[in-house]
């Protein structure tokens, strides 16, 4: 038995972990932010895959039976390879899950016009993972995408609440919505973006529903553990969270507190 691993390139996954802990408080969790190499959003497929695989192997070395990639970029660029190529070789009894499929599976519940706008990192948008996954569950939904490469740096540098952020938020929302006047759902396909919620609400017309992933992923994990009692039995039920970062713990603790909402004390993860 071991803790459930939750991974992100940096801080964004904390917005997902928060909802997971709310939904499943009985388990023990390990969070890893690969802050030393973030952001992942503009890196190549091969680089994101290699970095993510190293982090997944680190979780396994810590005894995690199950790892959630709480990062859309890693889910888009690394998950399939890890599940199909690496897991059978390195840890056939362990599981790695992402955030894209669970989100795609429920997005139809939010839209009435069947027109969904997606904002994400360049990596997530270019991978076409969302249009492909949504088409499997909802073939009638039309998906419109917009890459927002400045949003993660604005958030990571604590500039997201400042007036300087307005331009970048408004610019991308406008650009996305111009593609089709009937878009009624805006999916935040990056785990960092919930921090921009106030600005997003300010620049998104009232009738459009803004969807963030934390709760969706948490509910989907609860459902997964319910359907896989053999995996649930491997997940340690000893409430608690340990936070790890590949970069400075001092920096992590001060910035993570913003995403987490209270103080965090991290440990340095050395590979
Ligand atoms: N939070 C990550 C995601 O959900 C992206 C952050 C990054 O660019 O590293 O896509």
Mean pLDDT computed over 141-151: 97
The answer on 63 and 15 residing in a single domain is yes
Flag whether pLDDT at 12 surpasses 90: yes
Q: What CATH number corresponds to the domain at position 147?
A: 3.40.50.1860
Flag whether pLDDT at 157 surpasses 90: no
The answer on 129 and 33 residing in a single domain is no
Question: Confidence band (pLDDT; 50, 70, 90) for 195?
Answer: very high
Provide the pLDDT for residue 76: 96
The answer on 107 and 29 residing in a single domain is no
Mean pLDDT computed over 163-172: 97
CA distance 141 to 152: 27
Provide the pLDDT for residue 67: 98
The answer on 256 and 160 residing in a single domain is no
Whole-number percent of the chain with pLDDT over 70: 100
Which one is catalytic: 55, 64, 71, 148?
A: 71
CB 246 within 8 Å of CB 263: no
Residue matched to tokens 């388990």: 27
Give the mean pLDDT of the chain. 97
The answer on 86 and 168 residing in a single domain is no
DSSP state of 183: -
pTM above 0.85, yes or no: yes
Write out the DSSP string of 33-82.
E-GGG---TTS-HHHHHHHHHHHHHHHHHTT-SEEEE--HHHHHHTHHHI
| Mutate which of 13, 34, 40 for ligand 1 pocket (most atoms within 8 A of beta carbon) | 40
Per the annotation, the verdict on 71 as an active-site residue is yes
From 212, 228, 243, the end of a domain falls on 212
Structural domain containing residue 259: 4-98+215-268
CA distance 161 to 86: 40
The answer on 39 and 111 residing in a single domain is no
From 175, 197, 212, the end of a domain falls on 212
Say how many domains are in the chain. Answer: 2
How remote is the C-alpha of 70 from its chain's centroid?
Answer: 4
Quote the tokens at residue 106: 């429920």
The answer on 105 and 208 residing in a single domain is yes
Question: Confidence band (pLDDT; 50, 70, 90) for 265?
Answer: very high
Distances (CA, A) of 252 to 3, 84, 160, 225: 21, 32, 17, 30
CA distance 220 to 215: 8
Residues with a CB atom less than 6 Å from ligand 1: 8-10, 12, 38-41, 71-73, 121, 124, 152, 190-192
Flag whether pLDDT at 271 surpasses 90: no
Mean pLDDT computed over 27-41: 96
The answer on 37 and 22 residing in a single domain is yes
* Helix, coil or strand: residue 116: strand
The answer on 117 and 34 residing in a single domain is no
């Amino acid at each position: 038995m071991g803790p459930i691993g939750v991974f992100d390139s940096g801080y964004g996954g904390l917005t997902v972990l928060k909802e997971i802990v709310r939904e499943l408080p009985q388990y023990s969790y390990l969070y890893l932010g690969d802050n030393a190499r973030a952001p992942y959003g503009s890196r190549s497929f091969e680089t994101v895959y290699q970095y993510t695989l190293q982090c997944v192997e680190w979780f396994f070395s810590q005894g995690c039976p199950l790892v959630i990639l709480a990062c859309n970029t890693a889910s888009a660029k690394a998950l399939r390879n890890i599940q199909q190529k690496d897991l059978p070789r390195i840890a056939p009894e362990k599981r790695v899950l992402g955030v894209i499929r669970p989100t795609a599976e429920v997005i139809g519940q939010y839209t009435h016009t069947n027109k969904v706008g997606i904002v994400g990192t360049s990596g997530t948008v270019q991978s076409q993972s969302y249009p492909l996954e949504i088409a499997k569950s909802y073939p009638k939904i039309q998906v419109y995408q917009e890459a927002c490469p400045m949003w993660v740096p604005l958030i990571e540098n604590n500039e997201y609440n400042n007036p300087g952020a307005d331009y970048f938020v408004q610019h991308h929302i406008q650009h996305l919505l111009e593609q089709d006047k009937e878009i009624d759902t805006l999916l935040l396909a990056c785990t960092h973006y919930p921090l921009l919620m106030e600005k997003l609400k300010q620049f998104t017309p009232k009738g459009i529903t803004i969807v963030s992933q934390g709760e969706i992923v948490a509910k989907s994990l609860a459902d997964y553990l319910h359907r896989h009692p053999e995996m649930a039995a491997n997940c340690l039920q000893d409430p608690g969270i340990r936070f790890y970062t590949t970069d400075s713990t001092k920096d992590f603790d001060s910035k993570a507190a913003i995403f987490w909402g209270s103080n965090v004390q991290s440990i340095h993860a050395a590979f």
